Amino acid sequence: MVKLVLVFLAVIYSIVSQNHLHVYLIINASLLLIILMNRDNINVVHLCGALLVVYMVEMIIFHNFIVTESDTLSRMAVNTIIFSFHFVVDLVLFILVALRAPFTRGRLAAQGKPYDHVYIYNSEFGLKSLFVVFMLIDLLALVENFIRHLDEFGVSTEIAQFFSSWTIVFYSYIPVKSVLLGITFLLIWSMTTTIGKEKYQAKVKA
């Protein structure tokens, strides 16, 4: 019960605070804790380990190397760098989650160990689907960014000015990403539950 309350408080905090660094620190700490709690479960260890590495690398690169303000680059260029970086990270996360089960099976097979217990969790499928949404938001933000700055592509002033006010995704980006991170946190912790650890069964239409 206490764990459930703490998880939901963390989800609410990630949505309300919109503090990228704090949320990633909480997620990374959670991943490490879940790995320690499930050290004998290779499915959980490999999945959480992959997520932990990517999130830590993303946090280090974004806060040390990604340009968020510049006196020399245009606002379009800065936004392009930010949105492109997030898209690449989300794509890597999607690929890692999608290939986690085959990787684990291959690793165990190479060691001559049984791998019939390796499968895709419900939580894992949920994360993979969520990362598709992450990438969609990144692409929408990127496309809108280009459309909003058509003047930098040589488009006439009249047309460029008409699209310069397209900021729906731009101003929704952080709030939407914060909600998605909250859902990510919830799915990560669902791996410690019975339902989350159940094998994902794709529904077949009759």
Rounded CA-CA distance 136/154 in Å is: 27
* pLDDT digit string, tens, across residues 3-61: 678 777 877 887 788 787 888 888 999 999 999 999 999 999 999 999 999 999 999 99
Q: At what angle do helices 20-37 and 2-17 cross, to 10 degrees?
A: 160
Residue 204 is predicted with a pLDDT of 45
Q: How far is CA 101 from CA 19, 98, 206, in A?
A: 32, 7, 27
Q: Could you say which DSSP state residue 160 is in? A: H
Give pLDDT < 50 ranges for the chain. Answer: 204-206
